[in-house]
Structure 1
Amino acid sequence: MRLRNKPWAKDMINENLDLISIQPEGMAGKWQEKFAKKQPLFLEVGSGKGRFITELAQQHPENNYIGMEVQEGAIALLLKKQVNLRLPNLHLLLDNGSKLTELFGESEVDGLYLNFSYPWPKHRHEKRRLTYKAFLKQYQTILTDDGYIRFKTDNQGLFEYSLMSLNNYGMKFDELSLDLHNDEDLNQENIQTEYEEKFSKKGFRINYLKAHFES
């Protein structure tokens, strides 16, 4: 979902380059330098307005988090939150998720979050889906051997596609739910995104999985 242009976004970003990286070069393998201390590193691809990643970072100060977003307007809203919060374990990244192996080193990331990614429903756009095999190959490169992917979507078609794509790639499923909000065990620690809250209230079921690559 593309947000309206935010005329103030560029200035806010340029004024807070200590909190956000813009299409960085030479950072692969060095992201721990952006944090107060070295801790396990987790990445959200497509952070939107940032409710999920900011709450996650607050709940888990023992981890470091990067919130990545390609839309300038969206990440500016997330940056607004971080300017107020100043979480030492959260850094933002304005860049494209299709170049993760250029941005991150091998085995640099301990876990990856994909929340309500755009479904790209037309068959000719399959290669743009964040669970397409080319993306999975990049995730496998940047994740540690025991790293994992957590994926949530309200789009049934995208979820079914993702299950097949991950399975065909040889990934193993650790957790799975076709109705996350009514799963007492899995929903206990679930942090909702802005989008998730809006559409679950309209009766949309939230699909969820956690999976890892075979070593």
Structure 2
Amino acid sequence: MRLKNVPGARETIDASAFTIPEPEVWKGRWQEVFGRQAPLHIEIGMGKGQFLTALAAEHPDINYIGIEKFSSVLVRAVQKQNELELPNLRLIRMDADSITDVFASGEVDRIYLNFSDPWPKERHAKRRLTSVEFLRRYENILAKDGHVEFKTDNQPLFEFSLEAAEEAGWKLLAVTRDLHHDTALNKGNIMTEYEERFSAQGNPICKMILCQA
């Protein structure tokens, strides 16, 4: 995917009080960043922040961290947070490969993966955020009863993710191939920018919730 360059994006991100420039420093100490003890939920590949911003506003009792590696995308989330100033939301510009350098064992209660890059070429399978390799990383940071929530409209990626979860020994708590027509799973669903676009095109949205067995 070719991303449009946004002049001044890096400067805007670095200047925000809601972005964390050296997240490794806070490994095991994220409660200090928020100044309170609360469950910690993170979104990997947060895009422009529509999903996580809405979630943080709805659940002030939970601490949220959004992770995005592209400055030209993250800057939109930063600008939105600069306006809203939600006290329970922080943002990080980083690659998900380094997630175990940023969060300590058992520190994260929930991980959201929304419309992640499918990396369609087989040689890039390990880069998919639901690959066995990434599930191993999540095992290192998730709390004992923590879980991962994954949404996508990409059917091949969803099938791959189901197989990866089984291979990694994870347990499926819920699965649907048509989220918006699943009364139980769609309750309280917050749509991302991509979800709105793809569902408007008639694409069914798949979702799974999984945890360590």
TM-score class, shorter-chain normalisation, is: over 0.9
For residues 171-182 of structure 1, the aligned pairs below 5 Å read 171-182=170-181
* 2:32 counterpart residue number: 33
| Structure 1 SS opposite 2:163 | helix
Distance 1:105 1:162 in 2: 24
Aligned residues: 213
In the aligned structure 1, how far is the partner of 2:211 from the partner of 2:78?
Answer: 30
Equivalent residue, structure 1, for 2:81: 82
Pick the structure with more helix per residue.
Answer: 2
TM-score, normalised via structure 2 length: 0.97
Q: C-alpha separation between the residues in 2 aligned to 1:158 and 1:121?
A: 8
Q: CA deviation at 1:14?
A: 2.3
Please give the secondary structure, in 2, of the residue aligned with 1:186.
Answer: helix
What is the alpha-carbon distance in structure 1 between the residues aligned to residue 13 and residue 122 of structure 2?
A: 36
8 Å CA contact retained: 1:36, 1:88: no
Alignment of 1:73 with 2:72, yes or no, is yes
Q: 2: CA distance between counterparts of 1:49 and 1:2?
A: 16
The runs of 5 or more residues in structure 1 that have no matched partner are none
In structure 2, the partner of 1:5 is: 5
* RMSD of aligned alpha carbons: 1.1
- Once the two structures are aligned, what percentage of the paired residues are identical? 46
Q: Superposed, which structure 2 residues align to 1:177-192 within 5 Å? A: 177-192=176-191
Give the partner amino acid of 1:82.
Q
* Contact map agreement 1:23 1:94 (CA 8 A) in 2: no
Deviation of 1:6 (Å): 0.8
Q: Structure 2 unaligned runs (5+)? A: none
- CA displacement 1:84-113 (0-9 Å, x = unmatched): 110010000110101111111010000000
Q: Is the 8 A contact 2:14 2:21 kept in 1?
A: no
* Matching residue's letter, 2:12: M
